[in-house]
C-alpha cells in the first residue's frame, strides 16, 4: 500500500527524472548488457508498465538517459583554412558525445537499437535521414567543400551525392563496430579515404 502511494505521488517529469537518473547510475555501475527494465523500475520505486508507458524499449530508455548528459557541441561547419583540417573537425564533432559513455556501451546499445527501431517507421525514417543528404555531417561536408573551392583548393568538379554522404557512413560504421571514434582513426579516414575522393591528385 505504501509503495502504491509512492508511485502515485511520483508522476510526470519527476518520475521520468527519477527513472533516467537510475538508468544513468546503472549504466556506470553495471553496463548496458546487465541493465534490465525490472531492476530500473524497482530502484526508481515504480513498475515496469510505467516505464514502458514512457519509453517503448530498453534502447529508447537508455538513449533518453544519455541525452541528458550530452555536452553542447558546435553545429557550424568548420573553416580552418584547408579542407583536410575541416574534414577532421567535421568527423570529430561527435567525439564529446561518444565520450559520455564507454565504447562497450555503444557497441552493445547501437546494434540492439537498430534492431528494435527497424520495426518502427519513425525510427526507420530517422535512420534513413541519418545516412542521406539531409543529415548534419553531410550538410557540413557540403559547406566544407564549398569553402575549399573558394580557397581555390584542387577540389574535384564531379563530386556525387554518394560521395558527399560517405563521411556519415564511415562514422556510423566506425561507431557500430568499435564503439568509439579516436582522433587517429579520424586522421586515417580523412587522409586515406576522403581526401582522395574530394581532392584532385597533385
Q: Yes or no: say if 105 and 179 are a contact pair by the CB < 8 Å rule.
A: yes
Give the pLDDT of residue 1. 46
Residues 59 and 141 in one domain: no
Q: Which of 32, 67, 102 is the last residue of a domain?
A: 67
Band of pLDDT at residue 133, cut at 50, 70 and 90? low
**Rounded Cα–Cα distance for residues 86 and 174 (Å):** 19
**How confident is the model at residue 10, as a pLDDT?**
53
Same domain, 91 and 182: yes
The per-residue pLDDT of the chain, averaged, comes to 88
- For residues 109 and 39, membership in a common domain is answered with no
15-19, 69-73, 103-107: which range is least confident on average? 69-73
The mean-pLDDT minimum among 60-74, 120-134, 153-167 falls in: 120-134
CA distances from 159 to 34, 76, 80, 196 (A): 45, 22, 21, 11
Kindly state whether residue 72 falls inside one of the protein's structural domains: no
Least confident of 7-11, 46-50, 106-110, 142-146: 7-11
Q: Between residues 13 and 118, which one has the greater pLDDT? A: 13
Does residue 88 sit in the same domain as residue 11?
no
- Domain region containing 61: 2-67
194 touches 87 (CB < 8 A): yes
pLDDT band at 8 (very low <50, low <70, confident <90, very high): very low
Percent of the chain whose pLDDT exceeds 90: 67
Phi-psi region of 140 (alpha: psi -120 to 50; beta: other; left: phi over 0): alpha
Higher pLDDT: 156 or 113? It is 156
Q: Give percent above pLDDT 70 in the chain.
A: 86
78 is a domain residue: no
Q: What is the DSSP letter of 199?
A: B
Pair (31, 107) in one structural domain:
no
Contacts with 36 (C-beta within 8 Å, 6 or more apart), sequence order: 58
Amino acid at each position: 500500500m505504501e509503495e502504491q502511494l509512492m508511485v502515485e505521488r511520483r508522476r510526470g517529469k519527476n518520475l521520468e527524472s527519477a527513472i533516467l537518473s537510475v538508468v544513468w547510475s546503472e549504466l556506470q555501475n553495471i553496463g548496458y548488457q546487465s541493465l534490465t527494465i525490472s531492476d530500473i523500475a524497482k530502484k526508481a520505486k515504480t513498475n515496469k508498465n510505467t516505464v514502458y508507458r514512457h519509453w517503448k524499449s530498453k534502447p529508447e530508455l537508455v538513449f533518453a538517459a544519455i541525452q541528458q548528459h550530452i555536452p553542447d557541441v558546435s553545429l557550424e561547419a568548420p573553416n580552418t583554412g584547408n579542407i583536410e583540417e575541416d574534414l577532421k573537425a567535421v568527423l570529430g564533432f561527435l567525439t564529446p558525445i561518444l565520450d559520455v559513455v564507454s565504447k562497450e556501451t555503444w557497441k552493445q546499445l547501437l546494434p540492439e537499437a537498430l534492431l528494435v527501431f527497424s520495426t518502427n517507421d519513425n525510427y526507420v525514417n530517422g535512420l534513413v535521414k541519418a545516412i542521406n543528404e539531409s543529415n548534419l555531417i553531410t550538410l557540413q561536408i557540403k559547406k566544407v567543400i564549398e569553402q575549399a573551392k573558394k580557397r581555390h583548393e584542387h577540389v574535384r568538379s564531379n563530386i556525387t551525392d554518394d560521395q558527399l554522404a560517405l563521411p556519415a557512413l564511415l562514422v556510423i560504421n566506425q561507431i557500430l563496430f568499435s564503439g568509439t571514434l579516436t582522433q587517429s582513426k579520424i586522421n586515417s579516414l580523412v587522409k586515406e579515404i576522403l581526401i582522395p575522393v574530394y581532392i584532385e591528385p597533385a
